[in-house]
A and B are shown apart, each in its own frame.
Chain A
Amino acid sequence: AQSVTQPDIHITVSEGASLELRCNYSYGATPYLFWYVQSPGQGLQLLLKYFSGDTLVQGIKGFEAEFKRSQSSFNLRKPSVHWSDAAEYFCAVGARSGYSTLTFGKGTMLLVSP
């Protein structure tokens, strides 16, 4: 079964600074990878996903993520953070075959300071 680790529970970033949220996964092959964002009181919204091909994936709201097979990582980045980016971010991994569940990480809460 697959698993996901988001090592940082909270991260604080100054507005305008760059951001990197870490995600490591465990899976026997190349999985499907996702980043979702949850604003306070809301459901989750898909930021971006990796299925195959180019390992640098562009998403909505100026986010990007890079799949690194050798490191089993799928880190989320943004060059300049806005106050509206304050939210909780979830990495998720899905198997390419079978009926196993989509597995979410425990989330990283992003705080943006003025």
Chain B
Amino acid sequence: EAQVTQNPRYLITVTGKKLTVTCSQNMNHEYMSWYRQDPGLGLRQIYYSMNVEVTDKGDVPEGYKVSRKEKRNFPLILESPSPNQTSLYFCASSLRGRNEKLFFGSGTQLSVL
């Protein structure tokens, strides 16, 4: 089944403790992206990747890192999480770019205490 898989589904952590949210897609998509969703703000793009080893900042990249060493994986790294990064995170992918149909993961609810 074609899908985008995020893990974990829920995560509670403390300020400053490094964490990684994994994202994997099995559709051979070139484009992958991370969004955060906050009440009243909708979805905001954090980082995106057009292909392996090609990443770029979205609208709200501060405090986040990404890497794209393999086509299928696009992990989101918070090296020193802070409470303002408490949010619902979504990974998405598409065949070639942002203007094609995006396939979304089920989301990761992160709480930073």
Contacts and interface: CB of A to CB of B under 8 A. Distances in A.
A90 B99 contact: no
Interface string A77-113: 0000000000000100010100101111111000000
Given A102-B45, A105-B42, A106-B40, A32 B99 contact: yes
Contacts of A106: 40-42
A44 B90 contact: yes
Given A43-B106, A46-B102, A101 B59 contact: yes
Given A90-B43, A107-B42, A102 B99 contact: yes
A104 B104 CA distance: 14
B102 A44 contact: yes
Number of chain B interface residues as a range? 20 to 34
A103 B44 CA distance: 7
Interface centre among A90, A96, A104 (most CB of B within 10 A): A104
Nearest to B48: A101
A82 B50 CA distance: 38
A103 B33 CA distance: 13
B101 A46 contact: yes
B107 interface: yes
A39 to B, nearest CB: 11
A81 to B, nearest CB: 22
Given A43-B90, A90-B42, A101 B101 contact: no
Contact of B104 (A44, A103, A107): A44
B56 interface: yes
Interface centre among B43, B104, B105 (most CB of A within 10 A): B43
Interface of A: 9, 32, 36, 41-46, 49, 51, 90, 94, 96, 99, 101-107
Interface of B: 4, 33, 35, 40-45, 48, 50, 56, 58-59, 90, 92, 98-99, 101-102, 104-107
Given A36-B102, A46-B102, A104-B35, 4 more contacts: A43-B92, A44-B43, A99-B56, A101-B59
